[in-house]
Structure 1
Amino acid sequence: MHFLIVEDTRDVAEAIERRLERAGHVSDRAETLEDARHFAAMASHDLIILDINLPDGSGIAFLKSLRAEGNRVPVLVLTARLAVNDKIDALDLGADDYMIKPFDLGELEARIRAIIRRRSGEADRTLSVGLLTFDMAARSVLIDGRPCELTRREQTLLEIFLTNRGRVLDKDDLLVRLFGHDDEKNPNAVELYVGRLRRKIEGSGLEIRTLRGLGYQAVIAETEA
């Protein structure tokens, strides 16, 4: 998945990025509001981790502008402030959750999974379709109770499809979600990974359709009568 980390304390931002990277995710990092607006305009993100205190203003202003523009991207707010009003303002403006600094990276990752689950309509840490179950915490996949071995990027791609089931996902958007803004990424990589993933989850009940000229769509496979 593709995250935006808006945090001006470099060691904190780098620690978050490394933690997410180990789970197969890619991240953009912004140290200012200006940079955050640039990244938000340049690409879509699956979730934004947003510090309130930034060198050129408040992260709350960025959150407010996102919601005013109709951008419903999930936002997890980070704050060193303990004032109840700060939390209330963030939640009232559309933040999905908040954490007080300093925080544990394991808890941060769990909060992120919880936000993604809520947005996907799932009740626990697993995403399930048909015979397929993906454990977001353990990063493991079962098909009809049997392990399905996926590479890290195949897991990430599956997670993107499961959390966006029914939506049409543009190939260029998927490319950024898988590789970030790496200039050396191969434009054909999405087709390669989608093809591999299809073969590995065949018969699971999840179908990945190619919509020519539009992108890909994950749907519940139709069963024969």
Structure 2
Amino acid sequence: MRVLLVEDEREMAAWLERALAQSGFLPEHAPDARTAESLLAASGYDAVIMDLRLPDKHGLVLLREMRNRGDVTPVLILTAQGALQDRVRGLNLGADDFLTKPFALEELEARLAALVRRSRGRQAPCMQCGSLIYDSESRAFGLGGAILHLTPREQAALAVLITRSGMPVEKNQLFNRVFEHDSEAGLDAIEVVLHRLRKKLAGSDVRIVTVRGLGYMLESIDTEADADT
């Protein structure tokens, strides 16, 4: 599930981004309205998490402009305690849900999943690489018809790789999606996560390969071709 996080507070954004990634979401961060508008124009998202106090434009103005141009992406607004006026204005402008700070991550994730289920009657997409399937709504992986049991870091890494299967993902990018920004882990810690993932994928028709100079890539294996060689 691709989520655009529009939040100017660096610490809050970093926490939300890594927490969502470790839960299997695919978050992208916009620190201001201008960046958010650029990202929204360039690609589609399943949902938007939007803080209202942005440095260049109020979040409700950004929301109004989204709706005026026909963008119906579900928007969950983060509000301050007791900000009733913002809630009322937001509902009138097309907000889909609100969450009051401070909040529990579990509630945020549940609300995001509910928004996507309701939006335009769409079902959350499933992504597939060989016999590996990723349900972006439940954030569950299946391999060969069985549930693939993963740690949060393994799940975050594999979610990034499967959304870009067949294309390399840079080491730095993968590390930032899996580990906390203030973590004491070094860059090479991602190798440990990938080693464990490779063991869990061993014997299947899917593998993680290292592309020298470019990063890591998830690819399906042509088992029939391998058998013929």
Does TM, normalized by the shorter one, top 0.5? yes
TM tier relative to shorter chain: 0.5 to 0.7
Give the unaligned 5+ runs of structure 2.
53-57, 77-94, 100-106
Aligned equivalent of 1:166: 166
Moved more, 175-184 or 95-104: 95-104
Is this contact kept in 2: 1:167–1:217, CA < 8 A? Answer: yes
Question: Helix, strand or coil: the match of 2:22?
Answer: coil
Aligned equivalent of 1:47: 28
Amino acid in the other structure paired with 1:78: M
RMSD of aligned Cα (Å): 4.4
In 1: Cα distance, 2:175 partner to 2:207 partner = 19
Aligned equivalent of 1:108: 112
Amino acid in the other structure paired with 1:76: V
Cα gap change, 1:82 to 1:175, in 2 (>3 Å): closer
In 2: Cα distance, 1:175 partner to 1:2 partner = 18
In 2: Cα distance, 1:151 partner to 1:71 partner = 32
Cα gap change, 1:180 to 1:93, in 2 (>3 Å): farther
Question: Helix, strand or coil: the match of 1:209?
Answer: strand
Shift of 1:162: 0.9
Q: Does 1:6 align with 2:7?
A: yes
Aligned equivalent of 1:89: 65
Cα gap change, 1:181 to 1:77, in 2 (>3 Å): closer
Aligned equivalent of 1:21: 19
Cα gap change, 1:95 to 1:211, in 2 (>3 Å): farther
Shift of 1:201: 1.4
Give the unaligned 5+ runs of structure 1.
28-44, 51-58, 116-121
Aligned equivalent of 1:124: 124
Q: Does 1:63 align with 2:61?
A: no
Question: Helix, strand or coil: the match of 1:169?
Answer: coil
The alignment's TM-score, normalised by the length of structure 1, stands at 0.61
Shift of 1:67: 4.8
In 2: Cα distance, 1:199 partner to 1:6 partner = 37
Is this contact kept in 2: 1:5–1:48, CA < 8 A? Answer: yes
Q: Does 1:98 align with 2:70?
A: no
In 1: Cα distance, 2:8 partner to 2:72 partner = 16
Deviations 1:11-30 (A, max 9, x none): xx69x939x73772499xxx
The alignment's TM-score, normalised by the length of structure 2, stands at 0.60
Cα gap change, 1:206 to 1:46, in 2 (>3 Å): farther
In 2: Cα distance, 1:208 partner to 1:141 partner = 15
Question: Helix, strand or coil: the match of 2:142?
Answer: strand
Amino acid in the other structure paired with 1:98: V
In 2: Cα distance, 1:152 partner to 1:87 partner = 32
Deviations 1:31-72 (A, max 9, x none): xxxxxxxxxxxxxx842377xxxxxxxx533324x359x965
Amino acid in the other structure paired with 1:210: T
Shift of 1:6: 0.2
Question: Helix, strand or coil: the match of 1:102?
Answer: strand
Q: Does 1:216 align with 2:212?
A: no
Is this contact kept in 2: 1:76–1:112, CA < 8 A? Answer: no
Cα gap change, 1:175 to 1:95, in 2 (>3 Å): farther
